[in-house]
Amino acid sequence: MALDIKLGIDRESNKELTRRVPLKFLFDNFMPVPVICGILFLCGSSGAAGESTAAADSSRVAELQAQLDSLRARLDKLENQPPAQAKKDSVGELEKLLQEARQLTPGKPLEAPPSSREFKSGDRSLKDLNPNITVTGEFVFLGNDLPEAAGGIEEEGAGDWTAGEERFSMREVELGLESALDPFTRGKFFIGIGAEGVEVEEGYLQWLNLPGGLNLKLGRFYAQFGQLNRWHPHALPQADRPLALFNLLGEENFAGAGVSADFLLPSLSAKVNELTLEAFSPGGESPLFVDGGLDNLVYLAHLKNYYDLTPDTYLELGISGAGGRNEPRGHYRSWLGGLDLTVKWAPLERNTRRGVEWRNELFWSRLENGPEIRSAFGMFSALQARTGVRTVLGGRFDYSELPLEVNKNERAYSVNLDYWQSEWVFFRFQYRYTTRSYADSYSSFIFHLVWAMGPDKHEAY
């Protein structure tokens, strides 16, 4: 290898004079002094060529350094000021510092990264216009030890459907349709298809987040009396409804067509206080209220109070009241009161495997019948325990007096095991023992299969 050394410029030919020297020769003989001199010569040539540029850069660096020193001094001044004075001067000083920092570091403004998503305005597509559709099926096997003559739900005093004929049955197919029509309005329809035909269980339009936090509902709906009355049959904790709901509210859910309004109250003692007010024409299923025109409306109020006891436990306490006529265009009225209490424990880290829910409801009814007043009382207490990802154990005690009969009552004791094959399918095995003051006691075995197809699965209501 060799090194080309620049010796100068020939004045006559105006050409550079260079000489190629082997590196080994330089290292062996001239490295201590000549090579260093050659390097200094080259640096000197380069320095002369860029002397003006270096001077300009040095001046710019000195200017920047002076400005940075000024910024540091002003920052130190702000840090050393008393808190009150620093707070007073901070806004103006920070604005000045930001402006000067932008001058010191000029550059291209930041640009947002390109997005692969393209937004277009216009009407919703046909897919978006379709409502969410869910179909729920209930298959039931009922077996009991009643004599054949005592069976049949139509027989007076026979109790609820668990005293009916032993059989396999498709108890109900429920079609649910739900759609958000706009940011403030939502529509819901639940259509039940059973042995008695097709029925609109619920169908209403709901306005959300109106002024004052009001939610308004118009149409046919299940009344907000207690808790379980609003639940659809496939979502109940047991295959059958508690006796108190069956005897006091009706063979099916207490429902009607009218208006419902709910809103949050200012927090009193509870974390959340919600008040629901309803006025509706009952559908005729309730033994306490008569169906008819505006003179026979049922007026209902429900107050829900929610408490967080621990991060894993909450308590919900509700009070319900309803009143209306019990004969068409008559003067006699019926009154219904209720109290519900629910305590639920669900550990945050294991809520899919462990959990306990204790649900209680009490009912009082008062029915005017001329000079005679009939009163009835009913209640139930149910306990559910999640023992694994797929299994739930449950038990319930029922007591109910018959509102239209004197000195007649029923009691029931139930246990059930639920097995969830998936979040869409579950099996239930339930045993119930029922005693009646007016008829024979009996035992019932219920096999309950429920499946759901669609986005909402097993929603309670």
pLDDT digits 0-9 by tens, 240-273:
999 999 999 988 889 999 999 999 888 777 788 8
Is 154 part of any domain? no
The verdict on 42 and 175 lying in the same domain is no
The closest alpha carbon to 254, from 280, 300, 222, belongs to 222
Q: Which domain holds residue 27?
A: 1-46
Q: Is residue 102 part of a domain?
A: no
Percent of the chain topping pLDDT 70: 72
CA 41/CA 30 separation, integer angstroms: 15
Is residue 307 a part of any domain in this protein? Answer: yes
- In-domain check, residue 7: yes
Q: Please tell me the least confidently modeled range out of 148-162, 178-192, 422-436.
A: 148-162
Q: Are residues 42 and 177 in the same domain?
A: no
Give domain status of residue 181, yes or no. yes
Residue 176 in this model has a pLDDT that exceeds 60: yes
Q: Check which CATH number belongs to the domain holding 378 and give it.
A: 2.40.160.10
Using the 3D structure, point to which of 12, 28, 46 is the last residue of a domain.
46
Residue 142 lies in a domain: no
Q: What is the pLDDT of residues 377-391, one digit of tens each?
A: 999 999 999 999 999
One domain for residues 236 and 379:
yes
Whether residue 337 is predicted with pLDDT greater than 60 in this model: the reply is yes
Section 127-144 average pLDDT: 87
Assign residue 254 a region (left: φ > 0; alpha: ψ between -120 and 50; beta: otherwise): beta
Q: What CA–CA distance (Å, rounded) separates 425 from 410?
A: 32
> 211 and 351 share a domain?
yes
Residues 211 and 345 in one domain: yes
pLDDT top residue among 280 and 329? 280
For the ranges 151-155, 191-195, 255-259, the one whose mean pLDDT is highest: 255-259
Split into its structural domains, the chain has a count of 2
Verify that 261 and 410 share a domain, yes or no.
yes
* Residue 291 included in any domain: yes
- Establish if 140 belongs to a structural domain: no
Domain end call among 11, 31, 46: 46
Average pLDDT, the chain: 80
